[in-house]
Amino acid sequence: MATSKSAPRRGFWSRNKAYILVLLGFALLTYWYFWLATIADIQYVYRYFLQMLHGNFTGQLVPFDSLTHYQQMEVGLFGPRYDAIAPEVIRAFRERQEILPYVFAVEFTAFLIAFILQGGRKKATVTHPEDKVQVYSLFQRFVILLNILLVLYLFVTGFSITFGNWTGGGLIPRYMRMTHELVGLAWIPIWLIVTIIAFKDLKFFVRPSSRLFGKIFLKGRYTPMKRINYLAFVAFGFILIVSGFLLWYLYPDPKTHAQIIQFKRLMLFMHFMGSAIISFFLFETVYTYFVSVQGYLPAVITGKVPREYLEQLAPDILEEIEGYER
């Protein structure tokens, strides 16, 4: 049986190339998003963040008293610096409708090339299909499947807003937008539970000794790319949840408009950024778990996998399960 213990020691590049490449891609994307694709005033956004650390969320960076009569009129009525964040929302809007399909097409092509390069789907040769091992507990299956369903729903309904030019609006897209808000609320606890149970690196600190541990925390160890997927899920899920919740909770109110509109614009900016980036990792997750390897979905639905499947494709999981059995 192949285990990580017997694997030869690999060089720095091959051990860390996934992190380096993703960090590089992420840096390029951030540069593109913040400096090239937006005309939001980044200096303003930065100073706004600093101001929020001091508990001031209005976005009015210069003291109100120091403004001229005319400026006070504008700020008092409409909120601060309209041109600082709002133009991003305006300009990037048409870009999103027109450019996003190309971005998605490029991402699909990249995964297709990866698929061809690795020679199609990885399959296990199973000669004893009846010899199965319980990999996922009922609780884990419920949480993982619910997470998949909710994320898919949020993805489809979220992008149904962006691609309103295709849906054409009306009753059904309106219900999709409304349910995006409600399902988003329901996803908050699920995101939290998945974040906890999928924290496989916990095993660096705690030895998985009891069966109960295996029923709560997912088995096995992360490869670098899967760890990145997990971290992206946690980080960008957090951004989406916080910004989405605040957008829903800070309801438009004519009385408080000037005080909260800039904060809401910032939250929308974060929500767009989070959704654009998490989409890539969503595709990557779908590719890694569902496309590149055969048998993930049946495993997570039934909870059981043939022993030979684990021996060939996930020896780390089998090793952990055998640890419980001993």
Partner 1 sequence: MNAYARMKFYCDEGRCIECNGCSVACDEAHELPVGISRRKVVTVNDGVPGKEFSLSVACMHCTDAPCEQVCPVHCFYIREDGIVLHDKEICIGCGYCLYACPFGAPQFPQDGAFGTKGVMDKCTMCAGGPEETNSAKERELYGQNRLAEGKVPVCAAMCSTKALLVGDEESVSKIYRERVMARGKGVQSAPYGWDIAYGNK
- Residue among 30, 72, 109, 209 that touches partner 1 (CB under 8 A): 72
163 binds partner 1 (CB under 8 A): yes
Question: For residues 19 and 155, which CB has a smaller minimum distance to partner 1 in the complex?
Answer: 155
Residues of this chain, 185-214, that bind partner 1 according to CB under 8 A: 185
- Residue among 258, 276, 282, 318 that touches partner 1 (CB under 8 A): 258
- Residue among 165, 210, 223, 302 that touches partner 1 (CB under 8 A): 165
123/270 Cα distance (integer angstroms) = 40
Phi-psi region of 81 (alpha: psi -120 to 50; beta: other; left: phi over 0): left
Window contacting partner 1 (CB under 8 A); options: 121-129, 164-172, 231-239, 287-295: 164-172
156 binds partner 1 (CB under 8 A): no
Q: How far is CA 296 from CA 89, 266, 299, in A?
A: 39, 38, 5
Window contacting partner 1 (CB under 8 A); options: 6-14, 23-31, 34-42, 71-79: 71-79
174 binds partner 1 (CB under 8 A): yes
Window contacting partner 1 (CB under 8 A); options: 5-13, 130-138, 160-168, 305-313: 160-168
Residues binding partner 1: what is the number (CB under 8 A)?
44
Question: For residues 204 and 249, which CB has a smaller minimum distance to partner 1 in the complex?
Answer: 249
Question: For residues 266 and 317, which CB has a smaller minimum distance to partner 1 in the complex?
Answer: 266
161 binds partner 1 (CB under 8 A): yes
Residues of this chain, 238-257, that bind partner 1 according to CB under 8 A: 247-248, 251-252, 254-255, 257
Contact 258, 76 (CB under 8 A): yes
Window contacting partner 1 (CB under 8 A); options: 111-119, 133-141, 170-178, 301-309: 170-178
- The distance of closest approach from Cβ of residue 103 to partner 1 in the complex, given in angstroms and rounded to an integer, is 17
105 binds partner 1 (CB under 8 A): no
Token pair 């006070």: residue: 72
164 binds partner 1 (CB under 8 A): yes
- Residue among 51, 134, 162, 195 that touches partner 1 (CB under 8 A): 162
- Beta-ladder partners of 132: 306
177 binds partner 1 (CB under 8 A): yes
- Residue among 178, 196, 212, 301 that touches partner 1 (CB under 8 A): 178
Contact 208, 217 (CB under 8 A): yes
Window contacting partner 1 (CB under 8 A); options: 86-94, 103-111, 142-150, 297-305: 86-94
41 binds partner 1 (CB under 8 A): no
- Spatial CA neighbour of 223 closest among 207, 196, 201, 238: 201
> Which residues of the shown chain bind partner 1 in the complex (CB under 8 A)?
70, 72-74, 76-79, 82, 86, 89-90, 93-94, 97, 161-165, 167-170, 173-174, 176-178, 181-182, 185, 247-248, 251-252, 254-255, 257-258, 261, 264-265, 268
